[in-house]
Chains A and B, each alone.
Chain A
């Protein structure tokens, strides 16, 4: 019976599952296993396809009882029963008693390990469903459930099933009391560590998936700590790199969960394992990195051991950190920078999380060794390494991880040591500065400054004099080096982040000094320093600091304002103006990139309010080479500022002013700048004001750029492929077109209409259809008047690749779909009218000439008769049409497919017309095009049989053209004649 039909009947209540079972009775009670299996299989299939809420509680319970009994049957029968039970477990009306029956039958009747993969997966899914739907009830049979679960999942090997097991395991650990079975549970799950799995090419399970889920199991409870840590130590000593990496990763994950006492119990061994991975040269970067992260977690867990242990833990912890210090101290004499860095990081982690006493113990233990090392070591790289350790140590010891952790004693100690630390650092920095600038000496100098910055910005540590001295030193460095030690600046200006960091720290603790550093130190450098590089650097720095509290950063905004106003002034020499413009551009860019919204608003405000003045200034600058670029950079920066700004009257007034008064050059700059930066949303927001004013500007003075800006804005505003209703932007365009065509001269109207059509075509706008209809009306009704002729000529714009930015791409090309639409809506109707109407023919030629060649082939049938009709050289009334018709024919003939399509239709008509065009009475262009076309016909691979009847006439008429007074015509005729001679 068709299962689908059966299920449909059951859902429609036309029969029930119990009736189905009754009907299957002969099979179910058969002595043949296959029949019994088939019947249970059918029941299971039906159950799996039923909606979860279809069966009522009684039906579910009965079916559960029925299928549970079948679990004891032959394995081919029990297999189907498992799937049936799985389906029942997802039923909404599964009672607690039924759930218990399923659980007990599955765990007692089945030897899960003997089932095949799919059946085992179904069993795990039964557990998954029970845990999901009956968790509360299962907790009441806690021990039985845990025992059954452990027994079921034991020895699973298939990765697909393991994914489910590993997901269920942490859930069982979290929800059930596993104390009685903890070791068993650990054994069942730990046997997979480290995960050894090579995925097959077609398999969907990856090793990373298994490792991730498995480590979640092992770190799911503190109880596993005592079993797992020895296993981890064993694997950490393994020769297998992947085993060590996985062990460190697991340690990182499990350390926060495992009891600190367990970790401390194995402290010495753990430190030995970390030493091997962190403090040895011959270790891969990856292993060192992984070990360092694991170390940070272990040390953090140990440091937090107060809460869960007593005095023993206290002494164990002290011992651990003492041992750590012992491990680190020899590394200060190391040469390998990786080992030094690892030492710094390890100390940073330890000091960062340790309590006040341990912190002091670590800092006082290692600081003298570092200072001694700084004095003794000769090479810059080693000194850098030591400085890095010192910086990390100080940063961590002064960090506010815990308010009480920076003890008074530690601060007093550091304060006492500060003089000697600073002396050492100044000495190093000065010595490094005196050397020629190499990457090592620069790194050393910067590391000294960064460390001093950290110390001097710490409240209550450095004295006022020490801080003032450091600020002076820092500003001298920022200004390009101390007096008399002008240094070659290395690229990247890495001093800036240090100053920025120092200023920020100072601002947080000592606003007055921060304001003084900025106002008296940085502002003069930013405005008055002789080197533009220094000024630019300081500006960027100030831009970065724009988000400091107002009391500190107000002068920065003032500075920006001043720079902006000065940039608008024209009274200075060109280099000064250029540097101001560059600085203005820089300041704008920096502020716009900053996260400080106030700074951004400020810049937008300045730009929009001063816009008029800036444009006047930029026009003035344009005369002088470099200045034009600087001005252009500024306009682009402005465009970004403008587009970042929200709807505001200042933006609108700036835009209006542009539309009314800007010059062509302004338009060009704005065109590029705005179009690259405007988002469609911003464009739409401003289009209501901008489009009509641009249209009226174009109508009044015919500014080509205003028109292109108009078209570009339309294109920017409209999304391709949106719903076909007209948007407000399209309403505006339609109204502008109507106004302009009614009131302007023919040239402007034609250009405006063509540009709008182009933009609308590229945007896929529904307005295109409407405007195409309007265009056709003009061409049909106006006949041969100026507007029709102008419009016909302008239509070529539609399908031409566009150099002007119309889309986000630099060059807008009409795609095949848009091209087809254009030809279908315009070319076909034009061709229909072309017999009577010259303007329509011209417009059709204009379109066909620029249409993608592969599209035009479809129109050859209607195009050729229209062209033949008007290609009559004797008729002087058609003289103006001859050249465009011949050019189009030549374009068509240059494509083999078009030539093959048109030649059979028109060869007899075309040849006499072309030969007549060779007459000296025709213009040179037509004579030449005709000759070239004749040559193309001869060499275009057309069947000789079609051409041969015409050969004598063509050769003879071309012979006359060989005596043409113009050499170019003679040459083309000679080539055509030679080609015809070769036919046949």
Chain B
């Protein structure tokens, strides 16, 4: 285990349901919170904690431009030499592929200066072919599914 004793952060409270959200006549735009709600519950591959609790993802690090169909996410590994950073990035990517309409172009990157192999990992995560190939690997898919499992969801 790379980081045996990580800092644990508090969970964000559930998004309150406003009357507008129940009004059928109003369309709800995708926003950062909605996307953050999708990824904050992803399980860490090593610890029995979510990415939110480990401070790997945050709402501030999510950028959403609904009309332009653009979503950009930066995540912060708990330590600069984290060996699981690629897997975490892959899990975020897979979760968003499964949870967002296909019209969106999603970018997942390591927050600048937070990992020793930042450039290489970002390159891997941005390469659609490599992501698709990774998901063809049954073993790797099982590990990713474990991170996306519902066990520890809120």
The interface residues of chain A lying within 8 Å CB-to-CB of B61 are none
The interface residues of chain B lying within 8 Å CB-to-CB of A939 are 150
Task: Report how far A967 CA is from B148 CA in the complex, Å.
Answer: 21
Is residue A971 contacting chain B, with contact meaning CB distance below 8 A? yes
Output the nearest chain A residue to B100 by Cβ-Cβ distance.
Answer: A962
Q: Across the interface, do A970 and B150 meet the contact criterion of CB distance under 8 Å?
A: no
Is residue B1 contacting chain A, with contact meaning CB distance below 8 A? no
Q: Across the interface, do A965 and B100 meet the contact criterion of CB distance under 8 Å?
A: no
Is residue B128 contacting chain A, with contact meaning CB distance below 8 A? no
Task: Report how far A963 CA is from B103 CA in the complex, Å.
Answer: 9
Q: Across the interface, do A978 and B99 meet the contact criterion of CB distance under 8 Å?
A: yes
Task: Report how far A939 CA is from B21 CA in the complex, Å.
Answer: 27
Q: A982-B145, A982-B148 are in contact. Are A924 and B102 (CB under 8 A)?
A: no
Q: Across the interface, do A924 and B101 meet the contact criterion of CB distance under 8 Å?
A: no
Is residue A272 contacting chain B, with contact meaning CB distance below 8 A? no
Q: Could you tell me the distance in whole angstroms from the C-beta of B143 to the nearest C-beta in chain A?
A: 13
Q: Could you tell me the distance in whole angstroms from the C-beta of A615 to the nearest C-beta in chain B?
A: 42
Q: A970-B34, A974-B38 are in contact. Are A924 and B100 (CB under 8 A)?
A: no
Task: Report how far A939 CA is from B28 CA in the complex, Å.
Answer: 28
Q: Could you tell me the distance in whole angstroms from the C-beta of B127 to the nearest C-beta in chain A?
A: 22
Q: Across the interface, do B99 and A967 meet the contact criterion of CB distance under 8 Å?
A: no
Which residues does A use to contact B, with CB under 8 Å?
A: 923-924, 939, 959, 962-963, 965-968, 970-971, 974, 977-979, 981-982
Output the nearest chain A residue to B22 by Cβ-Cβ distance.
Answer: A924
Is residue B24 contacting chain A, with contact meaning CB distance below 8 A? yes
Task: Report how far A939 CA is from B150 CA in the complex, Å.
Answer: 9
The interface residues of chain B lying within 8 Å CB-to-CB of A982 are 145, 148-150
Is residue B98 contacting chain A, with contact meaning CB distance below 8 A? yes
Q: A963-B103, A977-B99, A978-B95 are in contact. Are A968 and B17 (CB under 8 A)?
A: yes
Q: Across the interface, do A963 and B101 meet the contact criterion of CB distance under 8 Å?
A: yes
The interface residues of chain B lying within 8 Å CB-to-CB of A970 are 28, 34
Output the nearest chain B residue to A969 by Cβ-Cβ distance.
Answer: B28
Q: Could you tell me the distance in whole angstroms from the C-beta of B92 to the nearest C-beta in chain A?
A: 13
Output the nearest chain B residue to A973 by Cβ-Cβ distance.
Answer: B99
The interface residues of chain A lying within 8 Å CB-to-CB of B102 are 959
Given contacts A979-B150, A981-B145, 17 further A-B contacts (CB under 8 A): A923-B24, A959-B101, A962-B99, A962-B101, A963-B103, A965-B28, A966-B28, A967-B34, A970-B28, A970-B34, A971-B37, A974-B98, A978-B95, A978-B99, A982-B145, A982-B149, A982-B150
Output the nearest chain B residue to A983 by Cβ-Cβ distance.
Answer: B145
The interface residues of chain A lying within 8 Å CB-to-CB of B99 are 962, 974, 977-978
Q: Could you tell me the distance in whole angstroms from the C-beta of A224 to the nearest C-beta in chain B?
A: 84
Is residue B27 contacting chain A, with contact meaning CB distance below 8 A? yes
Task: Report how far A923 CA is from B23 CA in the complex, Å.
Answer: 10
Q: Could you tell me the distance in whole angstroms from the C-beta of B71 to the nearest C-beta in chain A?
A: 13
Which residues does B use to contact A, with CB under 8 Å?
A: 17, 21-22, 24, 27-28, 34, 37-38, 95, 98-103, 145, 148-150
The interface residues of chain B lying within 8 Å CB-to-CB of A959 are 101-102
Output the nearest chain B residue to A980 by Cβ-Cβ distance.
Answer: B98
Q: Across the interface, do A924 and B24 meet the contact criterion of CB distance under 8 Å?
A: yes
Q: Across the interface, do B22 and A981 meet the contact criterion of CB distance under 8 Å?
A: no
Output the nearest chain A residue to B28 by Cβ-Cβ distance.
Answer: A967
Residue of B27, B37, B98, B103 with most partner-chain A CB within 10 A: B98
Q: Could you jot down 27 A-B contacts, CB within 8 Å?
A: A924-B22, A939-B150, A959-B101, A962-B99, A962-B101, A966-B21, A967-B21, A968-B17, A968-B21, A968-B22, A968-B28, A970-B28, A970-B34, A971-B37, A974-B38, A974-B99, A974-B100, A977-B98, A978-B95, A978-B98, A978-B99, A978-B148, A979-B150, A981-B148, A982-B145, A982-B148, A982-B149
The interface residues of chain B lying within 8 Å CB-to-CB of A974 are 38, 98-100
The interface residues of chain A lying within 8 Å CB-to-CB of B24 are 923-924, 966
Q: Could you tell me the distance in whole angstroms from the C-beta of A643 to the nearest C-beta in chain B?
A: 49
Task: Report how far A967 CA is from B35 CA in the complex, Å.
Answer: 11
Task: Report how far A778 CA is from B38 CA in the complex, Å.
Answer: 50
The interface residues of chain A lying within 8 Å CB-to-CB of B145 are 981-982
The 6 closest A-B pairs by CB, nearest first: A967-B28, A974-B99, A965-B27, A963-B101, A962-B101, A978-B98
Q: Could you tell me the distance in whole angstroms from the C-beta of B77 to the nearest C-beta in chain A?
A: 23
The interface residues of chain B lying within 8 Å CB-to-CB of A978 are 95, 98-99, 148, 150
* Contact of A981 (CB < 8 Å), options: B17, B37, B98: B98
The interface residues of chain A lying within 8 Å CB-to-CB of B37 are 971
The interface residues of chain A lying within 8 Å CB-to-CB of B100 are 962, 974
Task: Report how far A982 CA is from B95 CA in the complex, Å.
Answer: 11
The interface residues of chain B lying within 8 Å CB-to-CB of A981 are 98, 145, 148
Output the nearest chain A residue to B102 by Cβ-Cβ distance.
Answer: A959
Output the nearest chain A residue to B145 by Cβ-Cβ distance.
Answer: A982
Task: Report how far A965 CA is from B20 CA in the complex, Å.
Answer: 12
Residue of A923, A967, A971 with most partner-chain B CB within 10 A: A967
The interface residues of chain B lying within 8 Å CB-to-CB of A923 are 24
Q: Across the interface, do B17 and A971 meet the contact criterion of CB distance under 8 Å?
A: no
Output the nearest chain B residue to A939 by Cβ-Cβ distance.
Answer: B150
Task: Report how far A982 CA is from B99 CA in the complex, Å.
Answer: 13
The interface residues of chain B lying within 8 Å CB-to-CB of A962 are 99-101
Output the nearest chain B residue to A968 by Cβ-Cβ distance.
Answer: B21
Task: Report how far A239 CA is from B51 CA in the complex, Å.
Answer: 79
Residue of B24, B34, B37, B99 with most partner-chain A CB within 10 A: B99
Q: Could you tell me the distance in whole angstroms from the C-beta of B70 to the nearest C-beta in chain A?
A: 16
Task: Report how far A939 CA is from B34 CA in the complex, Å.
Answer: 23
Q: Could you tell me the distance in whole angstroms from the C-beta of A957 to the nearest C-beta in chain B?
A: 13
Q: Could you tell me the distance in whole angstroms from the C-beta of B138 to the nearest C-beta in chain A?
A: 11
Task: Report how far A923 CA is from B24 CA in the complex, Å.
Answer: 8
Task: Report how far A576 CA is from B126 CA in the complex, Å.
Answer: 82
Output the nearest chain A residue to B148 by Cβ-Cβ distance.
Answer: A978
Task: Report how far A656 CA is from B142 CA in the complex, Å.
Answer: 75
The interface residues of chain A lying within 8 Å CB-to-CB of B101 are 959, 962-963
The interface residues of chain A lying within 8 Å CB-to-CB of B17 are 968
